[in-house]
Amino acid sequence: MTRTPFDALGTPATVLVGLIGAGIQLSRSAAMHEAEGAAQGLRLVYRLLDADRMDPVPPIAELLRAAELCGFAGLNITFPYKLAVTEHLDSLSDDAQALGAVNTVVFRDGLRLGFNTDLGGFSDSFAAEMAGVPRRDVLQIGAGGAGLAVAFAILDNGVEHLAVHDLDRPRAETLVATIAKRYGRDRVSLAADVDGRFDGVVNATPMGMAKLPGSPYPVDRLTPDMWVADVIYFPLETELVRAAKALGCRAIGGAGMAVGQAVRAFRHFTGRDADPARMRARFEALGDDGGAAPIA
């Protein structure tokens, strides 16, 4: 576990962490982590290292090195660096290695340690909010950056068969092959379209975000006995989630995943357990005035 540094007077020193990504100014991570740090008596500072505001944009290796030199305890990593960062780390957690993607880096004892908290974040949210839903056949739309973590979490939570659909067919085929290696070919298949009878639908695409409105699944095909899970949290309720709830479906947005991954990252950064309810309250207090979807 990471130990929080103390100064000569026994006062907690500043814990400096941050987020590397592109177009991240609406991220809620800083608000969640700083508020949780303050609640635990830590001087935690969370900085955004936004590639969209850098000219020229340094390669990820230089960004990591700069963070080390500036005394960062760790970093969250998001689009477009989750895959590329793995080549510059000393070790990967089991989840990060299985997914081939890292969203949390810890600097410890001269080493760079890589973790993936997306899988656990979605898994925690699904287990807590979707207890008892039918899990025989589920459709996942989206095979991009969030797709693999979500698929692993869904299957870890007892979904018997997952059908994967993406407009980029080769990308969907790659995701299906990766899933099959871990869970077996009988538990996953490629869906050429979104037709069919499913117990639940998972959106792992950017569609539904404030800047990309709409629904990746035709809302007129929803039935009251289905359930819906969306990874998007800005807005807090996407068109798909709103339509599902209006019909009486069980439905969750991406808030639970976002908070869950932050809770796990906070532990990696500070060595302390965060209060999930407190972080969720801080997250929801921001409303729909700011935030970004955890899509990469």
- Listed in order, strand segments (DSSP E) in 86-166 are 91-92, 104-108, 111-115, 137-141, 161-165
Residue type, 143: A
**Which one is catalytic: 82, 181, 211, 245?**
82
Spatial contact of 143 and 175, defined as CB atoms under 8 Å apart: yes
Active site residue 82: yes
Residue type, 162: L
Strand 104-108 to strand 111-115: parallel, antiparallel, or no bridges (unpaired)?
Answer: antiparallel
Spatial contact of 46 and 34, defined as CB atoms under 8 Å apart: yes
The DSSP letter of residue 255 is H
Spatial contact of 3 and 15, defined as CB atoms under 8 Å apart: no
CA-CA distance, 1 to 127, in Å (whole number)? 26
Backbone φ and ψ for 34, nearest 5 degrees, come out as -65, -40
CA-CA distance, 34 to 42, in Å (whole number)? 9
Q: How many residues does the chain have?
A: 296
CA-CA distance, 252 to 183, in Å (whole number)? 25
Spatial contact of 192 and 172, defined as CB atoms under 8 Å apart: no
The tokens 């990469």 sit on which residue?
296
Catalytic residue numbers read 82
